[in-house]
Chain A
Amino acid sequence: MVFLVRWSRYNPYYLDPEVRKDVYSKTETELTAEEKEQQQLKAIRPIKAATNSVTSSVFDDPVLSKFINMMMKNGNKILAREIMTQTLEEMKRKQVEKYHKAAEGKKEEIECNPYTIFHQALENCKPVVGVISLKKGGRYYQVPTPLSDNRRRFLAMKWLLTECRDNKHRRTQMHEKLSQELMAAYIMEGNAIKKKHEMHKVAEANRAFAHFRWW
């Protein structure tokens, strides 16, 4: 009996597992009606197995995990995670160096936590409006549209990674280049931010076609 593994998936009525601990420490009174419904549903429906990459620890960050997955090549998650930890360490080192060199008044302004820098850099890279190719009257137009949060996050990560992979000297390591790029994005400089601005410019140039959308 041959069981096909490649295209197999869970039945759609399986629910996603809840990994975060704070959800379970809530008492009865704090739950809203929706959450109570969800809980009742969870008591009845089967639940998917949690993947290896999610943990219930305090340090589990879904955004960071997604970024590591996008950086991963050929399934080499170990290497991707190594690069990410090295990047965060380098960012921390640079910031701590700046902190110790700074004057007394300026010390509080320097952000030392690499995770906040990463999140802020990603936020700075996210575009506000995107362009969609729509066909009207035989011609394709670039129509400006609002984007969903997932799409924006994906574009920001994609731009960061492509910029790091393409525009670097062959001797610079990925973690070095990534840390430089993230620090630059934190201050709103660098090529990833430039890509975002270019996208905005294209949307602005084609704003006349905004009415071509029907949703």
Chain B
Amino acid sequence: MASNVGIEFLEKVSRLLSRQNKKPVLKPNRPLVLKDAVANRKLQKGEASCITEMSVLMACWKQNNFVDGLCTNEINTFYSCVKKAQTAAKNNSAENMGEEGRLHPQHATTLLRRHPNIRTEI
């Protein structure tokens, strides 16, 4: 049963802390209480968007000595690519609400905040 497992764990912790048998294994300087928050980690490192468009634009600039009037096509393609990347990023972050399998750390934190760890006995 879950309650049994909880009680066994607490007994083990008290054995590790006690000085009756041998030296205590744990000597905590802070109370052994879990935090009401989870660390924020972004699991996948994304990659830079629109690099090809940017390199094409820069090649055009190098050729035309940075005159903008001659590179309008490349500039427009670059802007459209940037817009697409931005909408994709927005949709991605909206989709990630689905959380296939794992809970997003932000959601976990809000849930833990609503049901915080008991710190006093009353």
Mark A residues whose CB is within 8 Å of B.
Answer: 124, 128-129, 144, 146, 188, 197, 200-201, 203-204, 207, 210-215
Looking across the interface, which residue of chain B has its beta carbon closest to that of A127?
A: B68
Residues of B within 8 A of A (CB): 45-51, 54-55, 57-58, 61-62, 66, 68-69, 75, 78-79, 82, 85, 89
Kindly state the separation between the CA atoms of A68 and B49 in the bound complex, as whole angstroms: 35
Partner of A210, one of B54, B61, B68, B69: B54
Q: Distance (Å) between the CB of B86 and the closest chain A CB?
A: 8
Q: Are B50 and A146 in contact (CB under 8 A)?
A: yes
Contact (Cβ within 8 A) A214 B48: yes
Instruction: Say whether chain A's binding surface is mostly helix, strand, loop, or mixed.
Output: helix
Q: Which residues of A contact B55 (CB under 8 A)?
A: 207, 210
* Interface SS majority for chain B: helix
Q: List 18 A-B contacts (CB under 8 A).
A: A128-B79, A129-B57, A146-B49, A146-B50, A188-B69, A201-B66, A203-B58, A204-B62, A204-B66, A207-B54, A207-B55, A211-B47, A211-B51, A212-B48, A213-B49, A215-B46, A215-B48, A215-B49
Contacts of A124 in B (CB 8 A): 68
Which 10 residue pairs are nearest across A and B when measured between Cβ atoms?
A213-B48, A146-B82, A204-B58, A214-B46, A197-B66, A210-B51, A207-B58, A214-B45, A200-B66, A211-B48
Residues of A within 8 A of B48 (CB): 210-215
Nearest B residue (CB) for A129: B54
Q: Roughly how many angstroms separate A213 CA and B51 CA in the complex, as a whole number? A: 10
Q: A146-B78, A201-B66, A215-B89 are in contact. Are A128 and B49 (CB under 8 A)?
A: no
Contacts of A128 in B (CB 8 A): 57, 68, 75, 78-79
A166–B45 CA distance with the chains assembled, in angstroms: 43
CA distance A211 to B49 in the complex (A): 9
State the CA gap A210–B54 with chains docked (Å): 9
Q: Nearest CB to that of A211 among chain B residues?
A: B48
Which of B49, B68, B78, B79 has the most CB atoms of chain A within a 10 A radius of its CB? B68
Contacts of B57 in A (CB 8 A): 128-129
Known contacts A146-B85, A207-B54, A211-B51; 11 additional CB pairs below 8 A are A124-B68, A128-B75, A129-B54, A146-B82, A200-B61, A203-B58, A204-B58, A204-B66, A207-B58, A214-B45, A215-B46
Report the separation of the CA atoms of residues A197 and B69 in the bound assembly, to the nearest whole angstrom.
Answer: 13
* Contact partners of B89 in chain A: CB under 8 A: 215
Q: Which chain A residues border B51 with CB–CB below 8 Å?
A: 210-211
Closest beta carbon of chain B to A191's beta carbon, Å: 15
Chain B residue contacts of A146, Cβ below 8 A: 49-50, 54, 78, 82, 85
